[in-house]
Chains A and B, each alone.
Chain A
Amino acid sequence: MTMRWSREAVIGAALASAYLLFTAVFWAYPFFWLAKLSVTQWRFFDEPVFTGARNLLLTVQDPQFLQALWNVVRFLGFYLPIAFGGALIVAFGLQHVGRGKAFVALCFLLSNVSSGVALSLVFAKVFSSTGPLNAMLFELAGVRVPWTNDPTLALLAIALVVAWKFVGYYGLILYSGLLAIPKEIYDAARLDHAGPWTRLMRITLPMMNPQLMMVLTFAILVSFGLFTEPFIITGGGPSDSTSTPQMMIYETAFRRLQPSHAAMMSILVALVTYALVQLARRLFERKVVLA
């Protein structure tokens, strides 16, 4: 080749290559190992032995793994209503308060940028049978709720903690959608005597579809990636009711020393996550067109 590269092209390509080199080592090579592990039998020390679809068959029949995937669905059942409800309140709240916007936004965002490990430890105490939440409930209603001993309540507790962490961030996303809705649409609706409920359901929510979809996608990704909160607050219990796919992968690879099995789980979890995100988009995504 006699083509001469300009100085700019050489520097640009060199910078891009630096990243590609890094990616080849810490991204592509692990990717290759994951694929290899998923079709072999390996125990960290011996030579990998090709076993074909055996890992796949083992994994899809593993009741604990299936339970962990099902737990994500149960988790979404609690998490989505709480997260969307909370985020909408934050978004409308920000629109409403005017002067104190920055302060309100910072209060809700602090949970998002602070430590998941530390706050999980805090919530483990807050939800404990003698913790402050139960003390408060006992004083108000005379009941003590066994937050971490009941399979459904334990999952609800985790959903509340994760929602507490992300509602501010989701709320900001929705708020940016609210800001983008032209005021003229509301004026026209008022001329047509559209009530507040009609305006919310027919204008506000449909116009916010891109932001609502973004929040839904993030919520699904967060749910399949759960590890720290259940690991610290419930340890997966009671009787695996709060164990998550990430916890299963960790347990299988590093406690039971079956990395091949765990590699298959990682791949399946990624595929299920992707499928669910695509399904959600098919079902709920609308193009917002302003005529």
Chain B
Amino acid sequence: MKAFLSKRTPGGWAATIAIYALALSWLYPFAWMVAASLKPAAQIYNTGLFEGDFTLDNFAFLFATADKLDRPFLGALGVSAVVTLTVTASVLLTSAFIAFALARMRFPGRKLFGDFLLLQMVIPTSMFILPLFVLVKQMGLLNTLGALILPSMMSGWGIYMMSQSFRTMPEEYFDAARLDRASLWQTVTKIVVPLNKSIIAIVALFTFTGTWDNFLWPLIAISDTDRMPLSVLLATFSKQYGGYAGPVMAGAVLQTLPLVLLFLLFRRHFLQGMSLSLK
């Protein structure tokens, strides 16, 4: 197989071309989404991918007309942004310090704490949706942004991932920090964070994506359209006004764009963090 697949033979070339073709075809749904969002409704289903009279009408509809149908997309974009940025910032900050404690500080019960994090990760979070609803209802947070932010402020997974990476740092860095009488804040922000950018980028990327695209929880916790994040508003809009294929696809583009941009921005850290030697 190696000989057949090696690049110099015609078969090897064919395999290379096939893999590139397959990789590009994986992007087809994105291309179709963007194309459909830019076409008038009558042309979405009966023109080729790059044919048609491209226009921004669908986006204009989303921000101007949808408001009158009680679907405030601009507001939803704001809700998604506020919730996602707050959760991501909070998870990164708390994970970095708690992971530093777990990986590098001696305190009673440290090993037990690590085992507990592992145990927590084994139990599927989807089990907790219903009782979490009960809790948030008791706290009087239903239908508020707090319902979307508070339960996700810290992440056991984030702490665990970072601590695994912090553990591999050479002790000399910390000896030097101790000699300089560096504070905890200085040690984490000046030494630990710059040396563990890849893992922090991964935790940031997955937290951001998971929060931005969370669907089931906000669907349950938020019922007012003017407090819905984009993911839920878009799905309910599509359910009720399915005929508006163009605006739905425009909304899908808005929902996807930040995630794609972030992924492309962090791609090097991401691939590195997945411990790959991609050259």
Residues of A with Cβ closer than 8 Å to B?
5-6, 8-13, 15-16, 18-20, 22-23, 25-27, 29-34, 37, 44, 89, 92-93, 96-111, 113-119, 121-126, 130-132, 135, 164, 168, 172, 175-176, 179, 186, 196-197, 199-200, 221, 224-225, 227-228, 231-232, 246, 249-250, 253-254, 259, 262-263, 266-267, 269-270, 273
Contact = CB atoms under 8 A, between A and B. Distances in A.
Given A125-B249, A250-B216, A186 B2 contact: yes
Interface stretch (B122-130, B165-173, B191-199): B122-130
Contacts of B101: 11-12, 15-16
Interface in B166-217: 184, 205-206, 209, 212-213, 215-216
Nearest to B34: A122
B151 interface: yes
B232 to A, nearest CB: 8
A208 B243 CA distance: 48
B2 A121 contact: no
A111 B29 CA distance: 9
Given A30-B134, A266-B127, A110 B30 contact: yes
Interface stretch (B51-59, B60-68, B259-267): B259-267
A117 B235 contact: yes
* For the complex of A and B, 7 pairs with smallest distance between CB atoms: A12-B107, A196-B1, A30-B131, A12-B105, A118-B252, A107-B23, A33-B131
Contact of B154 (A19, A135, A263): A19
23 contacts: A11-B107, A16-B98, A18-B154, A19-B98, A31-B128, A34-B128, A44-B137, A96-B5, A96-B19, A101-B279, A109-B270, A114-B256, A118-B252, A131-B45, A200-B1, A227-B216, A228-B216, A232-B235, A259-B134, A262-B130, A263-B131, A266-B126, A270-B124
Contacts of A29: 131, 135
Interface in B119-145: 120, 123-124, 126-135, 137
A32 B132 CA distance: 11
Contact of A33 (B135, B259, B279): B135
A259 B215 CA distance: 20
A126 B16 contact: no
A115 B127 contact: no
Contacts of B263: 109-110, 113-114
A121 B248 CA distance: 8
Contact of A225 (B5, B94, B120, B126): B126
B118 interface: no
Contact of B256 (A15, A23, A119, A164): A119
A266 to B, nearest CB: 5
Nearest to A135: B45
Contact of B267 (A8, A11, A106, A130): A106
B130 A249 contact: yes
Among A113, A172, A273, the one with the most B-chain Cβ atoms within 10 Å of its Cβ is A113
A118 B2 CA distance: 40
Given A16-B102, A16-B113, 19 more contacts: A8-B107, A10-B107, A12-B105, A12-B110, A18-B98, A18-B154, A29-B135, A34-B128, A34-B131, A111-B29, A113-B259, A118-B251, A119-B29, A122-B29, A126-B29, A175-B276, A197-B1, A250-B219, A253-B130
Nearest to A102: B278
Contacts of B74: none
Contact of B260 (A103, A114, A131, A250): A114
Contacts of B213: 115-117
Contacts of B212: 115
Contacts of B215: 116-117, 227-228, 231
Contacts of B82: none
A280 to B, nearest CB: 15
Given A114-B256, A121-B235, A176-B274, A104 B19 contact: yes
A41 to B, nearest CB: 15
A104 B20 contact: yes
A115 B264 CA distance: 14
A16 B110 CA distance: 8
Contacts of A123: 29
